[in-house]
Structure 1
Amino acid sequence: MKAFHFFGLICCAILSLIPPLLVSIILAALVLNTHTGAATDYTSGMHLTSPPPPIEQPLTLRIITYNIADGYLFTNNRPERMRAIGALLTKLDPDIVGIQESFVEKDREILLEALSESRLRYHADYPAATVGNGLLTLSAYPIAETVFHRFENNNPWYKIHQGDWWAGKGIGLARIRLPSGSRIDFYNLHAQAERNDQANSKVRYRQMGELATFVNATRTISTPAFVLGDFNTRMDQPDLQRAMQGARLIPVVTMDSGIDAIFAAETPGYSITAVETLPISGETTGRNPPIFLSRAPTPSELLRMLFGPREVTPLSDHLGFMSTVIISPATVSNN
């Protein structure tokens, strides 16, 4: 009996440590989550100090947006999917790619290694928060400058199960230098998810206002600009309409792309036209059954993720989209 009594005391002592330990972890995460490692100051950026020469000849670009669902705990088969996504992007041969939900640094390295034979030799990410915002921009051309805007409006920190605040979501700008010396301003973003929570719609509405303000403040007015990503809303909704009107964004897709969209900003002196948009999907063989969640897994889901049999898995729970666009400089008349 004494042994059982002693064991019970030990268990009670351990259990008594769990609440303060959890509180300490959450408090530490709250402090760390405010950190943004990416460059955020655009007041002396290249759009002000060194405007590029204009694009003088029609230019065709293939542009992709793709949420690859790469995160701890809520997705699995990540290394296999990253290799397959790298192979698919190499085959598609785009010029610029905006990736969302590339949260895991080790998996990002696998993806970049899988792209080593592609033209996508340049990349930029935008470190922020405890788990990172998951934004990754890939380019066939050098990236001259990067700037990140972290959304000031986000859902509350205490909605831990939703995860958006912890991800430090925002907008990553990459200024991409073309062989001619001209540039493209490329904005990659991931907005607040709905998650059956009406308050999140209000958050996202304010985020779309931030998007318009950031684009207007940072874009090179004489340079074509593209804005794309996982908007978590559709083009006919008031929140996305706010961004489209505020930043003068025009869709450059030829099909319904749902919540994953590609826009061009209206630019004096240029017309930008979408020629074709292709959905991007694929599958590969994973180590375990495919599971894609927007929340923490249940015990049974976790067991399947860790110990389930090998199965074919989609590359992501999102479709990607590739638009072929033509940038045409305005014809100058000598008359």
Structure 2
Amino acid sequence: MTSSVSLLPVSPLTQASTNSSASRSGTSRSHPMDFRMMTLNCWGLKYVSKAREPRMRYIANQIAICEADIVALQECWVESDYDYIRQQTHKEFPYSKYFYSGIIAGSGLVILSRFPIESVSMTPYTINGRPSAFFRGDWYVGKGIASAIVRHPTGVAIEIFNTHMHAPYGPGDASYVCHRTAQAWQLSQQIRAAVERGHLAIAVGDFNSRPESITYALLTQRAGLQDSWITVYGNANKHLLAESLSPEDQIKLMGVTCDSKLNTWRADRDLSEAQRLDYCFHTPSLSTVEKLDVVFIEKVPQLECSASDHFGVAVTLRVLPATREKLLSGQEQVAQSNRPPSLPLDQYDEILNIIHDYLPTAHAQKYYRTLHFWISIIFVVALHIGVFWVRKGWPSFLVTLGSTLIALTGVVDGMLGFLYGRNELRGLREFEEEVRWEKLRASDLSEGIGAVGVVDVGM
């Protein structure tokens, strides 16, 4: 039995995390139907991420010597970092795409491939944070779904979906739970379409969601994908508590990728905060997992820091032989046999409750920002009148400055309320109606009624 190959030099920790799967495949690509998929959140935000340049260069150099066939990166937000990655890896990965979106930094999403990329697309998320939360930046970077259709040497079309969903910023923040749920719904919609086309769909990235979340359920149930970790290890470790394990065992037994005490950027976190947020989901009817590793665990030489604030995930997938024949045959029944199932009816209700819990916040944001706009007009007019009585010196300057500031903040809040507020509410309404429509259809199918026609689901 040969040892498992990681992206980085093998340490005792890496050896422990990879030995459990080494017996499945020998090497990462020991079979012509195999391909190696790797995903990593690079933590590459300009001016904010510490030691960004040397870390990104280290990541690029390691990608150049890794055994992955397809690499998906998130938070590669500085284009010069991508240029360096491209320069270092263009021989090994001749096909690549940097995906543009948003108004600052861009989507941060990159796909590199040894195999030909036949088509690419970038779909921004309809609901993705608020422009008023400028200190968080999710809205400004235009998070979304980067997709690429890659042609495996056997001829099978692999459709890669690379994403980075809205960050949580707190366990009880209902707004961002709603936003991530909407994003997972939008992503699962695209995955369902890919699977019905007969493509081998792979969804990777930083989903900012735990395995027990509704986001996870949408990808594994509505989209019909399977978590690679579950494919390899099943649910045997499902009930393990992070605080009961050592940091090494958290990675080995739970696949922890974020907030690990072994990560130098998160070493101050409590053991209970360690979590798995980075995934590789695959189409179980078309592929299986031969090997899975948590990678980029080791420290960057000389810097003595972790390569990112997340660890990466590398998965060796195998295209199922019988599936390959069907995919290449062009038979129409492929789409029917691969059609993902509907969600359980109670989960549609859970999604609707998430939307309803957030709607008061969305309405309040729109109402108070618009109200601020109208009140600011009154104050600006009053201050301009006041200038006639305070015509010179510091009082005149302060009245003029106050009027200008009130006008600026009022206009900004007016635009946020009228433009963004209305847009968000319409996005939520569309999301709700899609959920209601699909719930009705799933209910009818479960009762044997068949597909429904045009339905007015209302608000």
Same fold (TM over 0.5): yes
Residue 166 of structure 1: SS of its match in structure 2?
coil
Q: Deviations over 1:201-244 (max 9, x none)?
A: 11101111111112223456322111110000012212221232
| Structure 2 residue 189 is the aligned partner of structure 1 residue 213 | yes
Q: Report whether the alignment pairs 1:256 with 2:255.
A: yes
SS at match of 2:205: strand
With normalisation by structure 1, the TM-score equals: 0.69
Structure 1 residues 282, 220: closer, same or farther in 2, change over 3 A? farther
Give the one of 74, 99, 111 matched to 1:126: 99
Report the CA distance shift for 1:317/1:71 in structure 2 as closer, same or farther (over 3 A).
same
Counterpart of 1:192 in structure 2 is 166
Between 1 and 2, higher relative CO (CA 8 Å, sep ≥ 6) is seen in: 1
TM-superposed CA distance for 1:194, in Å, is 0.2
AA of the residue aligned to 1:264: H
Does 2:220 match 1:244? yes
2:37 corresponds to which of 59, 63, 81: 63
Are positions 1:312 and 2:298 aligned together?
no
Q: Distance in 2 between matches of 1:179 and 1:329?
A: 13
Question: Who is 2:293 aligned against?
Answer: 277
| Structure 1: 4+ residue segments shifted above 4 A | none
- CA distance in 1 between counterparts of 2:188 and 2:300 reads 38
Structure 1 position 58, deviation (Å): 5.9
Show the counterpart of 1:233.
209
TM-score, normalisation: structure 2: 0.51
Deviation at 1:275, TM superposition (A): 2.8
How far did residue 278 of structure 1 move? Answer: 3.5
Pair 1:150–1:126, CA change in 2 (3 A): same
Write the distance in 2 (CA, Å) between the matches of 1:58 and 1:120.
18
Task: Find the aligned partners of 1:241 and 1:158 in 2 and give their Cα distance.
Answer: 30
- Alignment match, 2:89: 115
- Give the 3-state SS of the residue equivalent to 2:168 in structure 1: coil
CA distance in 2, matches of 1:259, 1:278: 12
2 CA distance for matches of 1:206 and 1:315?
A: 31
Greater C-alpha Rg = 2
Structure 1 residues 125, 160: closer, same or farther in 2, change over 3 A?
Answer: same
Shift of 1:248: 0.3
Contact 1:122–1:142 at 8 Å: present in 2 too? yes
Once the 2 structures are TM-superposed, how far is the Cα of residue 277 of structure 1 from its aligned partner?
2.5
* Corresponding residue number in structure 1 for 2:68: 94
Aligned-residue offset at 1:285 = 5.5
Which of 143, 161, 177 pairs up with 2:135? 161
CA distance in 2, matches of 1:204, 1:256: 22
Query: Is this contact kept in 2: 1:149–1:214, CA < 8 A?
Result: no
Query: Which amino acid counterpart does residue 178 of structure 1 have in structure 2?
Result: H
1:324 alignment partner AA:
T
Number of aligned positions between the proteins: 250
251-260 or 226-235, larger mean C-alpha shift: 251-260
2:53 is aligned to 79
Looking at structure 1, the residues matched to 168 and 292 of structure 2 have their Cα atoms a distance apart, in angstroms, of 29
Which structure shows the higher helix fraction?
2
Which of 295, 303, 315 aligns to 1:323? It is 315
